Amino acid sequence: MIIGVPKEIMDQEYRVAATPDIVALLVGHGHRVLVQAGAGEGSGYPDSAYRQAGAALVPDAASVWHAADLVIKVKEPLPPEYPLLRPGLTLFCYLHLAAKPDLARVLLERGTTAIAFETVQLADGSLPILSPMSEIAGRAAVQIAARYLERTSGGVGLLLGGAAGVPPSRVAVLGGGVVGTWAAQVALGMGATVTVIDVNGERLRHLQGTLSGRLYTAFSNPATIAEATGAADVLIGAVLVPGARAPRLVTADMVAAMRRGSVIVDVSVDQGGCVETTRLTHHSNPTYEVHGVIHYCVGNIPGVVPRTSTHALAHTAYPYYEKLATLGVREALLSDPALAKGVNVYARHRPTSGWRRPWSCPQRRSWGCSRPTRRPSRGQHEGAPHRRRPPAYRASGLGRRCRLPPQRSPGPGAGVRPQGSTPVGLAQGHAQLRREHRADCPARGHGGNRRAGPYRGEAGEHPLLVQPSGRRALSQGGPPLLDGAGGGRPLPPRY
């Protein structure tokens, strides 16, 4: 497989999806790796290192995107990269589509299969590719908050750990996951007083038993969140719902109640943010103020330490790179449930030539039957030939299209009103429709003698009126099959 590694174009994003060591492993397994020139410079990996590892260096991003079967990168595609998306391409990176519906629509329109790092999930619920970046973001968030607490950065002028005779700063952490755990550990190590708020009691007990220092835990509810944020000098948002938008736990009124010069670091901004006043920023202009509170809402916090982040990400994601490249996308997803959970967009492509739906092949049409086509039954492989109808069926002329008379869609609990009759129950109404249909059906041999019909199913029953096994027949009093929930036109019978 041809694997492409383009250069990141997000503002001050210096990470790269593969180190030279990882490229050497992929090349050693027989894959071709295309690396855009300068892709690893920000992480300290020169082009010469990739060349020595066996990669082919290409001058621009378009060459990588157009030639590769699998593109691995760090952050989601930005609008300048949208035209490079195409059918048949598989994209493997951080996507965060819950907060980016426009990107999701572009991926669907372009027919690109997209697998997200952050939703690859093991059976125990852990997120193996997201965890190393979450650890780095949690550690870095406290360092960033300590810097913006300084007066020269616009903060209130507090030292996170205090001093002799001076109480330490108070840090509130929303979420006790990977980000919250490492943020609390670093803040405790710097001498701060830390409160961790989470909905999971077992997680809070685990943190209480493993972390030492001025640590307090609390269950998440609006009252405890308002109390903790009102007293905090630093608020760290570390809320994650895998694959979904982060809930807004901190309202604008809670932010207004915080002390002027305090700091909010919302790590969950990638998923929309857990603070109502959060909006995405970038490293070139990382902060803004609301109600006198400094907000740091950069979506790629690990990008400030690209060497550490790249090494951790590339080695964690490599097993999935290798699986996708060796087995192919479909087989890799079928063989690895964790990787399958990472699929955000899956595009099924139709080959340009030599392809035909098996349920509309010429063999079926050669019967001279214009009945609606049917899909293969479950378990029938796509290349299986269609069963020919018996000669009596073909000679009878019953292959001609035969439809039930149009009927109205009754409301819940209402009866069917056949034309010229009074409302009756569903079973009786459909039975009357059957009788009228048999009398007026133009197909030869259908009316009159019910036992003369050469069909499968009940003796003399018209094939369009035979309900498949496992579904309640209309003659047994079952409800009509409607198109949509609770209304619309009746669905055509399936056979």
Report the catalytic residues: 96, 270
DSSP letter for each residue of 419-457? TTS--B-HHHHHHHHHHHHHHH--STTTSS-GGG---SS
Q: Which two tokens stand for residue 451?
A: 């036992």
Helix axes 130-148, 306-327, angle to 10 degrees: 160
If you ran DSSP here, which 8-state letter would residue 468 be given?
Answer: P
Measure the CA–CA gap between 134 and 129, rounded to whole angstroms.
9
If you ran DSSP here, which 8-state letter would residue 475 be given?
Answer: G
Measure the CA–CA gap between 82 and 109, rounded to whole angstroms.
10
Query: Residue 333 phi/psi, 5° resolution?
Result: -70, -40
Strand order in the sheet with 293-296: 215-219, 193-198, 170-174, 234-237, 263-266, 293-296, 287-290
Q: Exposure pattern of 316-326 as b/e (b: 16+ CB <10 Å)?
A: bbbebbbbbbe
Residue 433 burial (10 A CB sphere; 0-12, 13-18, 19+): buried
Q: How far is CA 353 from CA 168, 229, 349, 356, in A?
A: 70, 62, 12, 9
Helix, strand, or coil (residue 217): strand
